Structure 1
Amino acid sequence: MPAEKTVDLALSELRAAISGLENAVDVRIEQQRDQGEMEGEVKRVHADRSRLAQELDQSQFRANRLEEVNREVSRRLVTAMETIRAVLDR
């Protein structure tokens, strides 16, 4: 094989190898960007979950407090109705 063809073949193989390397680097950069986006999304989901858990706790506290107030109001109404009946029965 003449030296010129050997050099041309080697240069062609080198170009192909460089092209393959550039493609691999592009793919790797894309994967890293996608991974960074996923990590950001996971962080947002965790932050939303924490916020929602806190809101749920606060809502549960308010619901419990309303139940207590409701029971107290009911107790007072019963007492008032009994008092009114007692007065009316006299």
Structure 2
Amino acid sequence: MPTEKSVDAALVALRQAVAGLENAVDMRFEAERENNEIDGEVRRVHADRARLAQELDQSEFRANRLEEVNREVSRRLVTAMETIRAVLDR
């Protein structure tokens, strides 16, 4: 009888250990899945950041170009007004 009890106790301990191991494996798989999701999100954020940086650079270039064109138009308007004044003063 004592041998049966120790075998039963050993089987119970073995079942608990296997259940604990299965639980640990499940938790590890879940953590790995979450890490993969986080890695994917980080990659998407980096891609968005790169795209936004490129768009910002393009916008800054366009703004600078518009500023240059604006200065040129202003210069031409001043020249035109001066020409008109000179013609009117004659």
TM range (shorter): over 0.9
* TM score, norm. by length of structure 2: 0.98
How far 1:57 moved relative to its partner? 0.5
Q: Which residue of structure 1 lines up, in the alignment, with residue 50 of structure 2?
A: 50
Which ranges in structure 1 are unaligned for 5 or more consecutive residues?
none
- The percentage of aligned residue pairs carrying the same residue is 78
User: For residues 37-66 of structure 1, what are the alpha-carbon distances to aligned partners after superposition, in whole Å with 9 as ceiling and x for unaligned?
Assistant: 000001001100100000000000000000
Partner of 1:82 in structure 2? 82
Tell me the distance in 2 between the aligned counterparts of 1:89 and 1:6. Answer: 121
Q: TM-score, normalised by structure 1?
A: 0.98
- Matches of 2:2 and 2:52, distance apart in 1: 74
Letter in 2 for 1:38: I
Q: CA deviation at 1:85?
A: 0.5
Consecutive unaligned residues of structure 2, counting only runs of 5 or more, are: none
Superimposed CA distance per residue, residues 2-57 of structure 1 (whole angstroms, 9 cap, x where no aligned partner): 11101100000000000000000010000000000000001001100100000000
Q: Distance in 2 between matches of 1:19 and 1:3?
A: 24
Please give the residue correspondences for 1:16-31 in structure 2 after superposition, counting only pairs within 5 Å.
16-31=16-31
Distance 2:83 2:26 in 1: 85
| Count of residues in Structure 1 that have an aligned counterpart in Structure 2 | 90
CA RMSD of aligned residues (A): 0.8
AA of the residue aligned to 1:64:
N
